[in-house]
Amino acid sequence: MTYLAIAVENLTREQATEELSRLSKELAQHDHNYYHLAAPEISDAMYDAIFQRNLAIERRFPDLRRIDSPTHRIGAAPSPEFEKVKHRKAMLSLDNAFSEEDVYDFIARIKRFLKCQEDTIIPCMAEPKIDGLSATLHYQKGQFILGATRGDGQEGENITQNLRTVRDIPLVLQGDIIPENVEIRGEVYMSKADFETVNEIRIASGETPFANPRNAAAGSLRLLDSSITAKRSLRFFAYGYECLSNQTEQSQEDILVSLNRLGFKVSPLVALCTDVTTMLKHYSFIESQRSDLPYEIDGVVYKVNDLALQARLGAVGRSPRHSIAHKFSAEQAETIIEVIEVQVGRTGVLTPVAYLRPVVVGGVTVSRASLHNDDEIRRKDIRVGDTVIVQRAGDVIPQVINVVLSKRPEISTPFVFPQACPICTSPVIQQEGQVARRCSGGFSCIAQAVERLRHFVSRDAFDIDGLGDRHLQNFFTWGLVRTPYDLFTLEARNSTILPPLEAREGWGKKAVSNLFDALNKRRKITLDRLIFGLGIPQIGQVTARTLAHRFKNMESLLNAKAHEICSLEGVGENMAADLTQFFEIPDNRLLINGILEHVQIEEYIAAAAVDSLFSGKTVVFTGSLEKLSRAEAKAQAERLGAHVGSSISKKTDFVIVGTDAGKKLTQAKELGLEILSEEQWIQMNQ
């Protein structure tokens, strides 16, 4: 959350004037990001906090209210609503490589996973990474029937009408061989020239120009009126193909050929490479073309060409192992640090943020940069008033690289990190061996509590409608709801609260009854949503699903040992430590028990759960496998819905033995377990 260190009641008139001027600009920028670009940079909670502060300052100094104050605009235009579309195959995102070494590592990792010799050739397709927005297009019997955004990767928004206006998207597939049922994946983008034209028109009509072609494309795709989208001349490059009938393509190269035949534009800058040296050579070639291209690109994507290998490689979390985005290096600029604020996040971590004199870096205006933590500030000796070099790498949050010491003002003092939380004044603590400093206030700190509540009610967690950030803040200030548990007792308490909720600001009878309905609908929920909703550090939606799939209920998860958690695909030691630490905190245990009293937890059934001989079974691999790496064997088992155990017990269903299997094989025989050879396992997997 963004709060200035000085409390409103202590501001001088001069400071208030200055701050109101800054806040009006800042909020106008956030309005613009939200309404025009559909690309907010801060959470609603943070926006509300800044807005409330602006309001509080104006209440104290009414005559300082500016003509451009954001408080004149309460109730501004609503954000458009599109119907949701569940993707039949998840739309993943790519891991990034920032150096040549990362690319070598990518190929080495693949070879290790596939257990092939170091000198094996793994041909990869290198394609420019178009800087736009990904979209998926459904074609049935050759007709374009539905188009959607990527959304969170599982579910996107139906933007068919808008995509129909994109001339590169055929409404009917071309060519002789028309697949019955196919999804085309690609990038919607705006050319540099069209971006300039759109902005000229916007400026002429008094509208704020778009920051870059990507934001212009995003804003245009999310317009409710598709006749305006049509005027924006969006374009489309196809790069992916998910055939849901019988697919004949066997490589990415085949896919690109098919896409072209079906009437799509495919980038002409693609190349099939046989080793890292040729991949890097093509990277340099594409980079050399970058400024002359009529559209923006931000890197090169390498994809394992063979689709059968791609399938074997699978995914970790939200990224496939078979592809990587090699980003172009970051662009830099010089600017001045005007203010350093300390913000408090959901888990209590204090993050210092530099407010910068706005500067354009790589086509985007940057006015804030995270300084990460106190160590980082001290290491780089960053001070308010310093001239600094800032860098922006693609979507990555801008960073302060270093201070230009020769430009440091004569009077300058080192930054002092607060000892008390700037929001709730609780002591700031730092655990041994950790760089992060945290507010010790937990749920009593409004910043943490509201962020945790916001996360709990968010779409991928409890998905409770009608509880905006302002409501959550008010709930907290009124003492009605401090933890997610309190939400479920609110209805019962409401008759004893004075005044009852329906008589309070922002609430009426209907709204209250809608809220209680929404909460009651969630008194039954799947385990993955509860795990995600708790807001455990590092546990995102994918990990929450993995944990729910493995542990089935909260009790088993609470009693899980770190090594059991670490053995899951995509879960590292660090994550497991955060999880167990979270459960050790008494307040968190109380919270979970409280929720369990009011909410019935249902088993999580993985969407793509395959009905295989191994679903729900425990398998143990032992001995050394010849053809598969352990990682691949484990990933295969998990894809088949099995759990991979590390030791043999009566609960083990299958034991897969390689060569030199020792004690575990003997144990398995003694227990009369089903034993499979590696060869049998591979055959059963085909």
How many residues bind ligand IVH, per CB under 6 A? 15
| CB-CB neighbours of 376 under 10 Å | 15
Q: Of 134 and 160, which has the nearer Cβ to ligand IVH?
A: 134
From the list 90-98, 202-210, 216-224, 600-608, the region that binds ligand IVH by CB under 6 A is 90-98
* Touching ligand IVH, residues 191-210 (CB under 6 A): none
Instruction: Tell me the H-state helices in 306-407.
Output: 307-313, 374-380
608 closest CA partner among 667, 664, 542: 542
Asked whether the beta carbons of 178 and 142 are under 8 A apart, the reply is: yes
* Touching ligand IVH, residues 266-305 (CB under 6 A): 301
Q: Of 327 and 438, which has the nearer Cβ to ligand IVH?
A: 327
User: Who contacts 265 (Cβ-Cβ below 8 Å, separation ≥6)?
Assistant: 168, 235, 236, 237, 238
Q: Of 327 and 664, which has the nearer Cβ to ligand IVH?
A: 327
Q: Of 90 and 620, which has the nearer Cβ to ligand IVH?
A: 90
CB of 376 to ligand IVH, least distance (A): 27
Q: By CB under 6 A, tell whether 547 contacts ligand IVH.
A: no
From the list 126-134, 170-178, 437-445, 667-675, the region that binds ligand IVH by CB under 6 A is 126-134
CB of 202 to ligand IVH, least distance (A): 25
CB of 18 to ligand IVH, least distance (A): 40
Hey, what's the torsion of the CAs at 475, 16, 366, 234, to 10 degrees?
60
Q: Of 254 and 491, which has the nearer Cβ to ligand IVH?
A: 254
Q: By CB under 6 A, tell whether 129 contacts ligand IVH.
A: yes
CB of 628 to ligand IVH, least distance (A): 23
Which amino acid belongs to residue 353?
V
Copy the structure tokens of residue 76.
């501004």
* Touching ligand IVH, residues 312-351 (CB under 6 A): 320, 323, 325
CB of 561 to ligand IVH, least distance (A): 33
* Touching ligand IVH, residues 344-383 (CB under 6 A): none
Q: By CB under 6 A, tell whether 92 contacts ligand IVH.
A: yes
CB of 138 to ligand IVH, least distance (A): 17
The residue sitting closest to ligand IVH, measured at its beta carbon, is 134
Asked whether the beta carbons of 216 and 196 are under 8 A apart, the reply is: no
CB of 294 to ligand IVH, least distance (A): 15
Of the candidates 86, 129, 521, 552, the residue annotated as catalytic is: 129
Q: What is the DSSP letter of 74?
A: T
Among 17, 52, 93, 181, indicate the residue that binds ligand IVH (CB under 6 A).
93
Chain centroid to CA 244: how far?
27
Copy the structure tokens of residue 415.
């930054």
Q: Where are the beta strands (DSSP E) in 518-666?
A: 524-526, 600-602, 618-622, 643-645, 654-657
Q: Of 34 and 239, which has the nearer Cβ to ligand IVH?
A: 239
Phi-psi category of residue 501: left, alpha or beta, with phi > 0 → left and psi -120 to 50 → alpha: alpha
Q: By CB under 6 A, tell whether 212 contacts ligand IVH.
A: no
Q: Of 271 and 675, which has the nearer Cβ to ligand IVH?
A: 271
Q: Of 188 and 350, which has the nearer Cβ to ligand IVH?
A: 188
Burial profile 646-667: b = 16 or more Cβ within 10 angstroms, e = fewer:
eebeeebbbbbbbeebeebbeb
Question: What CA–CA distance (Å, rounded) separates 545 from 616?
Answer: 15
Catalytic status, residue 129: yes
Collapse the DSSP code of 675 into the 3-class scheme (helix H, G, I; strand E, B; otherwise coil) and give the result: strand
CB of 70 to ligand IVH, least distance (A): 33
* Touching ligand IVH, residues 499-528 (CB under 6 A): none
Collapse the DSSP code of 236 into the 3-class scheme (helix H, G, I; strand E, B; otherwise coil) and give the result: strand
From the list 39-47, 88-96, 377-385, 441-449, the region that binds ligand IVH by CB under 6 A is 88-96
Q: Of 324 and 501, which has the nearer Cβ to ligand IVH?
A: 324
Q: By CB under 6 A, tell whether 386 contacts ligand IVH.
A: no
453 closest CA partner among 486, 494, 489: 486
User: Who contacts 60 (Cβ-Cβ below 8 Å, separation ≥6)?
Assistant: 8, 9, 11, 16
CB of 526 to ligand IVH, least distance (A): 25
Q: Where are the beta strands (DSSP E) in 307-385?
A: 315-316, 319-320, 323-327, 331-344, 350-361, 364-370
Which amino acid belongs to residue 403?
V
Asked whether the beta carbons of 185 and 241 are under 8 A apart, the reply is: yes
Burial profile 478-492: b = 16 or more Cβ within 10 angstroms, e = fewer:
eebbbbbbbbbebbe
Among 127, 183, 306, 486, indicate the residue that binds ligand IVH (CB under 6 A).
127
Q: Of 130 and 633, which has the nearer Cβ to ligand IVH?
A: 130
CB of 238 to ligand IVH, least distance (A): 9
* Touching ligand IVH, residues 130-169 (CB under 6 A): 130, 134, 150
Q: How many residues make up the chain in this entry?
A: 686
Copy the structure tokens of residue 681.
């396992």
Half-sphere exposure at residue 553, Cβ-oriented, CA atoms within 13 angstroms: 8
Binding site for ligand IVH (CB under 6 A): 92-94, 127, 129-130, 134, 150, 187, 239-240, 301, 320, 323, 325
Q: Which residues are catalytic?
A: 129
